[in-house]
Amino acid sequence: MRFSSEKNHHVPHSLETILSCLCLNILAVVMFCAAKAESDEDGDLVERTKRGARDAFDALVEKYYKKIYNLAYRFVGDTEEANDLAQEIFAAAYQNLKKFRGDAKFSTWLFQIATNRGKNRFKYLKRRGYFVNKGLADNGDDRETQQRSVPDVSTNPETMLASKQIQKIVQGAINELDPDHKEIVILRDIEGFSYEEIAQLLNLPEGTTKSRLHRARMVLKEKLKRVLS
């Protein structure tokens, strides 16, 4: 997708400035609190759930739903799909909770399930052409989520494309990435997980995590360059 020449005057003089803002520091606006130490409360709720206390699992859902939904939304880009995916993730967690031994934090284990399910749903939708010409959904209910997708790199309206246009362009470019690249961009550059956390989530060596993220950013940068140039 390219903009017509009549809109080119909105593009900043330095394309590299935009790309640096969008790619080198891309989307790193809000940090997840997954790095926090696992609370005793989570451990107690997990053990109570294993003993059959459904209200304990409901408390875990309430605590993590927004984060899981936001992660799901980044994979599928649609509110209804994201809600369905979030429900699927928690259902899978509940069904498999007895297998959780506590070797890792509950939040890490939950996000592993979310990442795997999100990646699989993304591949499923992509095979069916779901993401063709689809950027970030224009849905008022997701205003907060949309605003998180791209940092405000300029306050001058004469030197920056309209915010919604940028959001749609960036989300569209992310949707064109292969699943491995998309998931690592989401985890690091959108959700703010550390390299160590991502390596644990994806069962990868930390060095592989860093190199895969570097390649993903370069691919994304080239996609954005073609659109914005």
User: What is the model's pTM?
Assistant: 0.69
CATH topology of domain 5-228: Rna Polymerase Sigma Factor; Chain: A (1.10.1740)
pLDDT of amino acid 10: 46
Sign of the Cα pseudo-torsion (13, 18, 21, 27, in order):
positive
pLDDT of amino acid 5: 40
pLDDT per residue rounded down to tens, the chain (229 residues): 333 444 444 444 455 555 555 554 444 333 333 334 445 789 999 999 999 999 999 999 999 999 999 999 999 988 999 999 999 999 999 999 999 988 888 999 999 999 999 999 999 998 888 877 564 444 444 444 444 444 444 445 444 445 677 777 888 888 899 999 999 999 999 889 999 999 999 999 999 999 999 999 999 999 998 887 7
pLDDT of amino acid 39: 55
**Per-chain mean pLDDT for the chain:** 78
**pLDDT tens per residue, range 105-126:** 899 999 999 999 999 999 999 8
Query: What is the per-residue burial (b if ≥16 Cβ within 10 Å, else e) of 95-124?
Result: eebeeeeeeebbbbbbbbbbbebbbebbee
**pLDDT tens per residue, range 126-158:** 888 887 756 444 444 444 444 444 444 444 544
Would you give the DSSP letter of residue 23? I
Question: What are the residue ranges spanned by the domains of the chain?
Answer: 5-228
User: Which of 172, 70, 64 shows the shortest CA–CA distance to 118?
Assistant: 70
Helices 206-228 and 195-202: crossing angle in degrees, nearest 10, is 100
CA distance 225 to 20: 11
User: What are the two backbone dihedrals, phi and then psi, of residue 98, each rounded to the nearest 5 degrees?
Assistant: -65, -20
Q: What percent of the chain has pLDDT over 70?
A: 68
